[in-house]
Amino acid sequence: MTVAFLVAGAHATIHAQGLPNTVDEVIWVVGDEAILLSDVEKARTQMTRVSGNPYCVIPENLAIQKLFLHQAQIDSIDAPADQVNRYVEAQINQWVQTAGSKEKLEEYRGMTMAQIREETYDLVKDNQTMTLVREHLTKDIKVSPAEVRHFFKDVPEDSLPLIPTQVEVELLAEHPHIQQEEIDRVKEELRDYTERIQNGSSSFSTLAILYSEDPGSARQGGEMDYMGKMELDPAFANVAWSLTDPKKVSKIVESQFGYHIIQLVDKRGDKLKLRHILKKPRVEQADIDASLARLDSIAADIRNGEFTFEAAASRLSDDVDSRANRGLMFNVTEDAATGERIRTSRFKMSELPVEIARVVEGLDVGEVSKPFTMIDKKGKEQCCIIKLKNRIKQHAATITEDFQVLSAIVRNKRSEEFILDWIRQKQRTTYVRINPEWVNCDFQYPGWVKE
């Protein structure tokens, strides 16, 4: 970091936001970035609990944040806007539920919803960017099986991490029949939107906000982030990549999520920025009941030994992912540090869809459930039966059974050691100035105050 300015005195003639009649104060300078008293006070009011003296902990956390964000600029790392927006909406929804209403939240925070959303966006974006920087810095750290065995060799069994109860589940799903009249209704709505866009009576963005059933993009006027062709549903992508005029609207396209109209926003290399409106045909209750009845009959035949659950799932299930595994569901996660995809048939209860977890709770191993309904990951209603294949009860981790868990613990320890060394190096090479009255702290990372 270069030093853009030096602070001549401790005080600035600015009034701290949220602190009436209080003169703001520059308390730290890190590189060319100032940390203000108002920054600390704002963070203090937003934190429910601080371990230690907040006037020591918070400025240090803000200083570390500035080190990471500066590294993000160097490495051109930026949190994706769509990801940030999802976190922001989830956080605001949680706050609204806690407060009781948007109006009560505005009253409590002393801000409008727009101001709360803007402030939260900046905080979330910074936190997400910091996470990405940490992942980038530690991406090359690997641990060998020998290192893992050595690390845990002398650890007493009662000190080993506890692995929570895990389950293996088989799924047979059916999407209820959708009436042609309902499909025609959805297509007619989309044709109406297209006509309104083309005659100029409405904008694509406005109609997306009002009517699109894609919660991720609707709030942004239907806009999606830049994406490559392979990242999208094939039918959707084929139509999107045929668009050349940003003023035109695509024909209606059916994807695995429903029916869309699409508009080109921009092209950057082999990626497109698009906006779309998604409409999902409604399923009639009579068709749901018919699917539930069919699955109830299939479950009875499985219990009577007419055929196995695995054979039925392989032939009849509408869930493409599990059908290829004879009904066995797979849990695919991503290692936060390496980006490596980890695939296992074991799920912690919290990792299962809520509806499936609720049913699993009441099943014995080998038992087939009664039929039930749930919303799949594409947002469609489906009817299901499941079989509990296995339940692995909570236990102390072992190398043979839980190597991935233990390996992650060792790797995380190596990563934390690396980040500690990185922060120490940054402390030595970055200009840091702390006002004398803010120096007397037991900092988590000694080295801020130069001897």
Q: What is the pLDDT of residue 338?
A: 52
Model pLDDT for residues 54-105, shown as the tens digit of each residue: 899 999 999 999 999 999 999 999 888 877 887 888 888 888 888 888 889 8
Q: What is the pLDDT of residue 197?
A: 96
Residue 315, pLDDT above cutoff 90: yes
Model pLDDT for residues 142-193, shown as the tens digit of each residue: 899 999 999 888 888 788 888 899 999 999 999 999 999 999 999 999 999 9
Residue 288 carries which side chain, given as an amino acid letter? I
Instruction: Out of 87-101, 263-277, 412-426, pick the least confident.
Output: 87-101
Most trustworthy range by pLDDT among 28-32, 277-281, 344-348, 447-451: 277-281
158 or 416, higher pLDDT: 416
CATH number at 165-177+284-393: 3.10.50.40
Taking residues 217-224, what's their average pLDDT? 90
Q: Domain spanning 11-139+413-438: which CATH class is it, in words?
A: mainly alpha
List every span in the chain annotated with CATH 3.10.50.40: 165-177+284-393, 180-279
Q: Which long-range contacts (CB under 8 A, 24 or more apart) does 437-441 make?
A: 437/10, 438/27, 438/28, 438/55, 438/56, 438/59, 441/53, 441/55, 441/56, 441/60
Taking residues 115-144, what's their average pLDDT? 90
Burial of 222-247, coded b for 16+ CB within 10 Å and e otherwise, reads bbbbbbeeeebbeebbebbeebeeee
Q: What is the pLDDT of residue 199?
A: 94
Taking residues 194-203, what's their average pLDDT? 95
Name the band, by pLDDT with cuts 50, 70 and 90, for residue 335: low
Q: What is the pLDDT of residue 339?
A: 54
Q: What is the pLDDT of residue 17?
A: 41
Taking residues 20-33, what's their average pLDDT? 79
How many whole angstroms from its chain centre is CA 230? 20
Q: What is the pLDDT of residue 20?
A: 45
Residue 245, pLDDT above cutoff 90: yes
Instruction: Out of 167-171, 316-320, 329-333, 335-339, pick the least confident.
Output: 335-339
Q: Domain spanning 180-279: which CATH class is it, in words?
A: alpha beta
What does pTM read for this prediction?
0.60
* Residue of 212, 268, 266, 274 whose CA lies nearest to 238: 274
Average pLDDT, the chain: 88
Q: What is the pLDDT of residue 69?
A: 92
Q: What is the pLDDT of residue 90?
A: 81
Residue 7, pLDDT above cutoff 60: no
- Which positions ≥6 away from 431 have C-beta within 8 Å? 1, 3, 29, 30, 31, 32
Q: What is the pLDDT of residue 340?
A: 62
List every span in the chain annotated with CATH 1.10.4030.10: 11-139+413-438
CA dist 163 and 161 (Å) reads: 6
Residue 4, pLDDT above cutoff 90: no
Q: What is the pLDDT of residue 188?
A: 97
Name the band, by pLDDT with cuts 50, 70 and 90, for residue 48: low
Residue 364, pLDDT above cutoff 90: yes
Residue 352, pLDDT above cutoff 50: yes
Taking residues 229-258, what's their average pLDDT? 93
Most trustworthy range by pLDDT among 83-97, 99-113, 246-260, 339-353: 246-260
The Cβ of residue 6 has, within 10 Å, a number of other Cβ atoms equal to 9
Taking residues 250-276, what's their average pLDDT? 94
